[in-house]
């Protein structure tokens, strides 16, 4: 192995007591490949198993915690106990390859397609997404409390299914972000108004998941939180909003904060000066209180090391592990020159990619570099 890449292979101990054997994480990526009833498909299990040997931790695609929170076709479910065997099959496949298995839990809110949800499309307020879509119904206060409990129940199911932890998905415009954003949250009750009140829902979810883990987990169980640092809309989340939120999140006893970025070295749009990248501002604000995971167009080992040098604890790889499932092994063996950074249209079987995800990749020009 190139000695310059040694930092990627240092073990890392999480607050919960779990230890990762290296600093590489498989990022959560929607794959559209579960059955219509919300159970995990065999193709999906094979896809994860192919990518779980080498990385220290696998964060799954998001799973919905309530029936009206399903955000994608082919998304797997965690909203009822009947789904525990399905969830267990995926956790077992990941852990059998040596990686820690983390279930990402979420509610899509106003981003849910109306034909996928049971009942209304809901959000913090009756404000549609900037890109279009239905006008959601504003959740009643008691419904907000119920969804908080639903996140806790999904975490309990993750524990019973054998996962090593859960990641609370507060990024990418879904329900938790909708409550934090001044664009989508126009409430004037306990769940909205000031910046502090817009934090209330995600903080309540974190507290409930922590309570459930303490009550039900008999072995170390990690809890992470993912967030997007900025929104382009006005009003919308600014870097200043996010840094104030990170300052609070860093004191919640979480195992990590996971920043959702398209480019790990991107600069702030507004709310912080451009002397530092978004990731550097976030790491500085967390100030060692909670580890930070960085992600975003990290393709090569050199780029992964450069990302670590910003102060993040762990590096998440997404598209790279689809194109090159053996990224970690090739880096460890000094074969980094063999890492694939493009796709060929004949690669599907070799890469063990389910049909729905492959169709999405090939049908979305610019998403992946396809030869």
Beta carbons within 10 angstroms of residue 306's beta carbon? 14
Which of 163, 174, 225, 256 is flagged as catalytic? 174
Known active-site residue 174: yes
Among the listed residues 218, 210, 269, the one whose alpha carbon sits nearest the alpha carbon of residue 239: 269
Label residue 192 exposed, middle or buried (CB < 10 Å: 0-12, 13-18, 19+).
Answer: buried
Do residues 104 and 154 lie in contact, with contact meaning Cβ atoms separated by under 8 Å? no
Three-class SS state of 99: coil
| Phi, psi values for residue 338, rounded to 5° | -90, -5
Do residues 164 and 111 lie in contact, with contact meaning Cβ atoms separated by under 8 Å? no
Distances (CA, A) of 102 to 19, 56, 167, 221, 274: 13, 11, 7, 9, 33
Residues written for the chain: 371
Among the listed residues 277, 301, 65, the one whose alpha carbon sits nearest the alpha carbon of residue 175: 65
Measure CA of the first residue to CA of the last residue in the chain; give whole Å: 29
Beta carbons within 10 angstroms of residue 162's beta carbon? 18
Three-class SS state of 222: strand
Query: Catalytic site residues?
Result: 174
């Amino acid at each position: 192995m190139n000695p310059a890449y040694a930092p990627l292979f240092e073990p890392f101990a999480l607050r919960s007591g779990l230890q990762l054997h290296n600093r590489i994480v498989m990022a959560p990526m929607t794959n559209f490949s579960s059955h219509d009833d919300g159970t995990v498909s065999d193709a999906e299990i094979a896809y994860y198993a192919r990518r779980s040997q080498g990385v220290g931790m696998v964060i799954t695609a998001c799973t919905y915690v309530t029936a009206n929170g399903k955000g994608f076709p082919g998304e797997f479910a965690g909203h009822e106990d009947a789904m525990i065997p399905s969830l267990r099959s995926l956790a077992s496949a990941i852990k059998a390859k040596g990686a820690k298995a983390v279930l990402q839990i979420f509610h899509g809110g106003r981003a849910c397609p109306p034909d996928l949800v049971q009942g209304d499309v809901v959000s913090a307020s009756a404000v549609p997404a900037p890109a279009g879509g239905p006008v959601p119904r504003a959740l009643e206060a008691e419904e907000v409390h119920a969804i908080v409990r639903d996140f806790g129940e999904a975490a309990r199911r993750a524990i019973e299914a054998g996962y090593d932890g859960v990641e609370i998905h507060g990024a990418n415009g879904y329900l938790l972000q909708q409550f934090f954003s001044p664009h989508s949250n126009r409430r004037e009750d306990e769940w909205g108004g000031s910046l502090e009140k817009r934090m209330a829902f995600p903080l309540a979810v974190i507290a409930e998941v922590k309570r459930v883990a303490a009550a039900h987990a008999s072995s170390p169980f990690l809890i992470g939180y993912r967030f997007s640092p900025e929104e382009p809309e006005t009003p919308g989340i600014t870097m200043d909003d996010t840094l104030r939120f990170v300052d609070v999140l860093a004191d919640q006893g979480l195992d990590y904060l996971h920043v959702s970025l398209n480019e790990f070295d991107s600069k702030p749009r507004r709310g912080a000066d451009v002397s530092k990248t978004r990731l550097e501002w976030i790491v500085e604000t967390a100030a060692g209180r909670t580890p930070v995971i960085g992600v975003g167009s990290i393709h090569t080992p050199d780029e992964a090391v450069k990302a670590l040098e910003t102060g993040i604890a762990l590096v998440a790889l997404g598209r790279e592990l689809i194109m090159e499932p053996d990224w970690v092994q090739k880096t460890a063996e000094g074969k980094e020159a063999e890492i694939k950074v493009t796709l060929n249209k004949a690669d599907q079987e070799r890469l063990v990619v389910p049909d729905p995800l492959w169709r999405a990749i090939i049908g979305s020009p610019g998403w992946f570099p396809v030869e």
